[in-house]
Amino acid sequence: MIDFELTSEQQLLIDTTRAFVMREMIPHEETLERTGKTPPELAKKLKQRSIELGLHACNLPEDVGGGGLDAVSVTLIEKELGRTSLALAECAHRPMNLLAACEGPQIEHFLEPTLKGEKRDCIAMTEPGAGSDLRGMQCRAVRDGDEWIINGTKHFISQAEVSDYCVLFAASGEEQSNSPATRKRISAFLVDFSDAGVEVLPGYNNVSHRGYPNNILRFDNVRLPGWRLMGEEGAGFELVNQWLGPTRLTVAATCVARAERAYDIALNYAAEREQFGQKIGRFQGVSFPLADMAVEIRLANLLLLNTAWRIDQGTVTPGDCAMAKLYCSEMLARTSDQCIQTVGGMGVMEDMALERIWRDARIERIWDGTSEIQRHIISRELLRPLGC
């Protein structure tokens, strides 16, 4: 028989993280929404509290100094953190999993300070002309003896202004093949924002996730020592794939959490609000959508945890993570919109969290792989074995 029960340790992680979010994050949401900024002193306090609770770096393997939690446990934590503003949740920083690939001096200069909370990482991949088409990136890394010279621009770089360094993906050459089309080799580099020639610029005003900055990065003849190359030259896509699967699952977990929060607001409103002499939840026009949303949220939870379980079993595929990200992000869009419809005019007022959840939901179908990219991954995984 399949056992869907959580372990006592997993339930403790949920309870601990939920209490942290409810007591120390959610009360600050209004400030972020009003100012569009996360106060530095608040961010520092939340990071320290995250370290004390063992949430910081819980996603990295124990043999590199991380918490060593299994994927199901990490997903449960991400889901609880996802109930609040992304800017606040990110104060309880979980370093990128691909930092586990650090070797030699990379460990001392980047991995260890990040695990201790002394440095913060971010990822620099997207460019103005290269979003879904990563091989279209124009940022280049040219070898010069034992060093690399980086030139180019990245944008939509989350949290760069509050980070110390980035894992930069850049074109480092061209693959040798019989195909007439040129395929760029992509490599990954550790770039400290104090390196000469690196510029961190303000990004764009975003309708979603207020207080969560995005930035533009410019690299002007940035000279890096050879040891800053992560892995082999041209092996950047392998690192990208290590990062994307867990990241897409984090997006899915966040979407489920926000859908649950929006649903709770709408459900309670329907049970209390009276019109035409009775509770509006008694009208099928209100109650049936509530039933539909409950089904969708249940399905999303099952898909989410099944995908995390597959990671732990070593059987997960890119299509599995794509399914979770696709369904959960689109489910959140439908649910947040219907919850506002249930509540009515008050749903789009800033007095309620619904309008923020609804706004924030829009970006989830775009970043970390658009819905169209997820469908492409899923369909290719289904059809290629059949020779199509």
Q: Are residue 222 and residue 243 in the same domain, yes or no?
A: no
298 inside domain = yes
pLDDT bin (cut points 50, 70, 90) of residue 132 is confident
**Rounded Cα–Cα distance for residues 308 and 354 (Å):** 28
pLDDT score recorded for residue 174? 85
Q: Are residue 252 and residue 356 in the same domain, yes or no?
A: yes
pLDDT of residue 296 exceeding 60: yes
1 inside domain = no
**pLDDT tens, position by position, 190-237:** 999 999 999 999 999 988 899 999 999 999 999 999 999 999 999 998
Q: Are residue 291 and residue 322 in the same domain, yes or no?
A: yes
**Rounded Cα–Cα distance for residues 1 and 24 (Å):** 40
Name the domain boundary from 172, 205, 234. Answer: 234
Q: Are residue 323 and residue 201 in the same domain, yes or no?
A: no
Tally of residues, the chain: 388
Could you tell me the two tokens for 333?
């869009």
- Give the domain CATH number at 200: 2.40.110.10
302 inside domain = yes
- Residue 322 neighbours by CB distance under 10 Å: 26
pLDDT score recorded for residue 200? 98
Q: Are residue 261 and residue 155 in the same domain, yes or no?
A: no
113 inside domain = no
pLDDT of residue 2 exceeding 80: no
Name the domain boundary from 234, 256, 291. Answer: 234
Q: Are residue 36 and residue 176 in the same domain, yes or no?
A: no
pLDDT bin (cut points 50, 70, 90) of residue 381 is very high
Q: Are residue 367 and residue 250 in the same domain, yes or no?
A: yes
**Rounded Cα–Cα distance for residues 47 and 65 (Å):** 17
20 inside domain = yes
Total structural domains within the chain:
3
The string of DSSP letters for 317-366 reads -HHHHHHHHHHHHHHHHHHHHHHHHHHGGGGGSTTSTHHHHHHHHGGGGT
pLDDT score recorded for residue 135? 81
Name the domain boundary from 193, 215, 234. Answer: 234
Q: Are residue 243 and residue 365 in the same domain, yes or no?
A: yes
- Structural domain of residue 79, as residue ranges? 8-94
221 inside domain = yes
**pLDDT tens, position by position, 156-185:** 999 999 999 999 999 998 877 666 667 889
pLDDT score recorded for residue 1? 56
Higher pLDDT, 340 or 176: 340
Q: Are residue 282 and residue 350 in the same domain, yes or no?
A: yes
Mean pLDDT of all residues in the chain?
94
Higher pLDDT, 3 or 303: 303
pLDDT score recorded for residue 50? 96
Q: Are residue 274 and residue 227 in the same domain, yes or no?
A: no
Contacts of residue 270, defined as CB under 8 A and 6 or more positions apart, other chains included, come to 279, 280, 281, 286, 287, 290, 342
- Give the domain CATH number at 368: 1.20.140.10
Could you tell me the two tokens for 208?
């979603």
Q: Are residue 180 and residue 293 in the same domain, yes or no?
A: no
351 inside domain = yes
- Give the domain CATH number at 44: 1.10.540.10
318 inside domain = yes
Q: Are 272 and 279 in contact (CB under 8 A)?
A: yes
pLDDT bin (cut points 50, 70, 90) of residue 261 is very high
**Rounded Cα–Cα distance for residues 317 and 311 (Å):** 8
**Alpha carbon distances (Å) from 173 to 138, 149, 184, 240, 323:** 11, 13, 6, 17, 33
Q: Are residue 130 and residue 207 in the same domain, yes or no?
A: yes
